[in-house]
Structure 1
């Protein structure tokens, strides 16, 4: 326990500095090895680390262990407004394995779904790869490059999502742009994506307390007045039954941007906001091949396999315009080419191009916000600016993950092209059920490699 004099000085400092770093739990980033490869196929190991997203962290008064946020509600006596709350409250360090079920070993990261810690029960997690400094996110530009990793999702049932993706957030977590943010990337601040999430507790160095509404279904979450938007490249959203690769882009903004009202694209205003929430997804099952990925299928999710994603440019240079995203797999030493679309009236696409996206949207009767927000060229521009690597495990309180692994929307016939996305029942995926029945679920990402096209896997 700190002496009273120290507590007073900390409290005075908080008035000046805003969103603080707590000192009650030590922050020790779990180490994770990744590899950077060259065109000759030679790969160099880099020692990196991961950090937990700030939304999962303990948020308490700077001068005590009193919670600023408990369950899904703010303490309005500590947090009467965004600035005062950021002044009064600190983000603390994390017990990665004990509280959050997050462990690393060499080049492998394992994320447990439900973890019963000493003080709480934790559901899911989201972590970021840090650079060699340990205080900034490692940013990637994957134009004319490929990104490869191994995944074991044999213990991810219907309704769960083991996600690996990139987002265009600030390398320092927003510290330079928002001086009231003193926690930064080291403590997992600055998150954004194309859903412009409004459940983020601190945005732009201020607490998202205005008009905060606790969730009716999630005891740990709520939504505030603001959301946080940026372009997003979903390399991998998957469970043992289904998988999708999906670029999403934003227009009218550059990098992480706070939104409010129509800008966030909520509800009936889904296509009026900054970002393309639907994206242009390639899900093998949804594109007509129900034999390709799953337990015992061509890509057998009962065991580990390698996922390779290639970002091809128009002139095969790192400065060219992104024009194709290709996917292939490696399992048991065998290279497996991606599945092809099988619907009549559409070409047999096996990769994501602007033509694929346009034809897919037309076939499915979907709004083509991907094209209107800039398409693949906009995705390439986001990579040029630098994108941070995110790895997570989560369940879906909005629509039970049916958009990934079942029939969605549920009021349309499954025989209609684009409705069936996986084999899971439309009654599956309810968070209360998966949290109680599949709490021991986990995903393991390992052997992350990146480099020029063809450099990261044996072929």
Structure 2
């Protein structure tokens, strides 16, 4: 995560002498946070907790209470070099609520922006999910999906409530680096694709050498060392803009770098390092849809309300990453991500083709490809990663890269990222004018594609909108899924209205709804030690779903297509999802009567009021699923 700032607590109580790098003048009690591990049969609650990053902690001598780091400077009389400083200094326990403004309740985590403590004022924080007292919870994302609820209504221009994954060590580097005696219990071992150089302890030594205090941030600075690893930004957002972004690195695990060779935000040579600092981002506003995400009912995703965010890491036939897909659930409706409107790009998800086209369309440096691109990112997602949640302001670019025009004098495609003023986001102003800002993350779920969400997740409690037709209700222990806007897995919860943005006709929506679900094999996780592994679905039944197609190119403001679909995917099968043919020459005509010589694999071939073809492609037979829907399935 780029641009995160650090914080050092001023002297507190007299420290208890302890000849290690973790001290206990304040007891370290991790706030409890529950989350859910899901399978095709349902979800099980997991008892977890969170820990604040070591960078935010009081750093003082192990044999007393003298600061080793005050404000944004090291004490050179104590920290003569990195190894000596690490031996003499420790990080202390945290008072989460009173010092950092961090509180939890059940499955909910709240992070305050400005917290005035007894000894200092804290700005933001960065937290990790723990499996136990000394181990980070690890997640293997490839072939699975990750879902959470978020409330961004209280953070606006210049702020970023972020949720993302990085390839940190599960023990925080405790075993790997002799100088690190604090470990995950105290939030050590951070790394990201910016090769962060503002981290105070890296690889078990203090980042003292070459340390330059920040001119604008009274708590932070930049050292000679940087700490790098792959990064998957699932959620970078405020109430104006949001983006999700994969960042590959040539090295898949945490590693260090030195000086400008680190590249990234903190170096004069941005692309000199081992990681891609830009990534391949999908920001709906940047991709040309200015009415998709924002505050109020005029936006399809209303940021004044809680949002359920679903991210699917879809594996292709080869087992590698084929697509990173985004869905939203709000008010009982499943909302497909917006399609890109930028010339030369297409789609509503992050694919290898999208990333290549976007770099060309925007004229951006393609460091994504240079650092291994999709293949390298696939390898990172196939290995265990650590979950990070944070709230921060930006001393490097005022968060303009997320929510405004950036660079500020740019006018070309991709420059506009949100509606915030180019003069907004100055940290001193944001901290003074919006100190009560906060972000709330809750209801974290992880499991196979289609297992982590349904319409019951929405605030409304409605399992279906009034436009749903003959919707099937799931059992209490089973989530069903269907496919939207993609020939790969894209799970849609049972009994929900699915909103597909910017499609041209109701017919296209119908073909989307009846496309095949991806096989359970592709949904199965890649095996990796020490990580949470999800179970592949042995079968997924796809219910009736109503799709509302917005922003029709044919002049109608909204087209509604009701589609009845029941698809069963058996473990080990590999269906190919191919929508039916459309009349490309006249997409605004009524295509309901169009027929092809044979329906494609897993396409519709019959049902009540069906007027299309009743024959199937070679190797497939038309099978009645219910009164409303027959489907071409393998013989």
TMscore range, shorter length: over 0.9
Tell me by how many angstroms 1:398 deviates.
0.3
Number of residue pairs matched by the alignment: 440
For 2:427, which of 423, 427, 431 is the aligned residue?
431
Cα distance in 2, alignment partners of residues 193 and 346 from structure 1: 28
Tell me by how many angstroms 1:383 deviates.
2.2
Change in 2 beyond 3 A, CA 1:262/1:216:
closer
1:269 and 2:265 correspond: no
Per-residue deviation, residues 127-167 of structure 1 (Å, max 9, x unmatched): 00001x22111111011100000000100010000000000
Spell out structure 1 runs of 4+ moving beyond 3 A: 1-4
Using the TM superposition, name which of 278-287 and 380-389 deviates more. Answer: 380-389
Cα distance in 2, alignment partners of residues 343 and 99 from structure 1: 45
- Which protein has the larger Cα radius of gyration, Structure 1 or Structure 2? 2
Q: Which residue of 2 aligns with 1:157?
A: 156
Tell me by how many angstroms 1:263 deviates.
3.0
Matched residue of 2:118: which SS? Answer: coil
Cα distance in 1, alignment partners of residues 32 and 432 from structure 2: 30
Contact 2:174 2:183 (8 Å CA) reproduced: yes
Matched residue of 2:189: which SS? Answer: coil
Matched residue of 1:399: which SS? Answer: coil
Cα distance in 2, alignment partners of residues 379 and 186 from structure 1: 28
Matched residue of 2:185: which SS? Answer: helix
Q: Which residue of 1 aligns with 2:384?
A: 386
Contact 1:162 1:393 (8 Å CA) reproduced: yes
Cα distance in 2, alignment partners of residues 345 and 261 from structure 1: 37
Contact 2:82 2:205 (8 Å CA) reproduced: yes
Q: Which residue of 2 aligns with 1:56?
A: 56
TM-score, structure 1 as length reference: 0.94
1:181 and 2:176 correspond: no
Q: Which residue of 2 aligns with 1:309?
A: 311
Contact 1:324 1:376 (8 Å CA) reproduced: no
Q: Which residue of 2 aligns with 1:284?
A: 284
Contact 2:149 2:309 (8 Å CA) reproduced: yes
Change in 2 beyond 3 A, CA 1:140/1:3:
closer
Tell me by how many angstroms 1:269 deviates.
2.0
Cα distance in 1, alignment partners of residues 215 and 222 from structure 2: 11
Of the two structures, which has the highest relative contact order with CA contacts closer than 8 Å and spacing of 6 or more? 1
Matched residue of 1:186: which SS? Answer: helix
1:445 and 2:447 correspond: no
Matched residue of 1:48: which SS? Answer: strand
Q: Which residue of 1 aligns with 2:220?
A: 221
Tell me by how many angstroms 1:23 deviates.
1.5
Contact 2:14 2:65 (8 Å CA) reproduced: no
Matched residue of 2:84: which SS? Answer: helix
Q: Which residue of 2 aligns with 1:71?
A: 71
Cα distance in 2, alignment partners of residues 310 and 254 from structure 1: 21
Cα distance in 2, alignment partners of residues 357 and 303 from structure 1: 31
TM-score, structure 2 as length reference: 0.68
Cα distance in 2, alignment partners of residues 215 and 343 from structure 1: 37
Q: Which residue of 1 aligns with 2:128?
A: 128
Contact 1:48 1:134 (8 Å CA) reproduced: no
Contact 1:181 1:204 (8 Å CA) reproduced: yes
Q: Which residue of 2 aligns with 1:342?
A: 341
Q: Which residue of 1 aligns with 2:402?
A: 404
Matched residue of 1:34: which SS? Answer: strand
Tell me by how many angstroms 1:344 deviates.
2.9
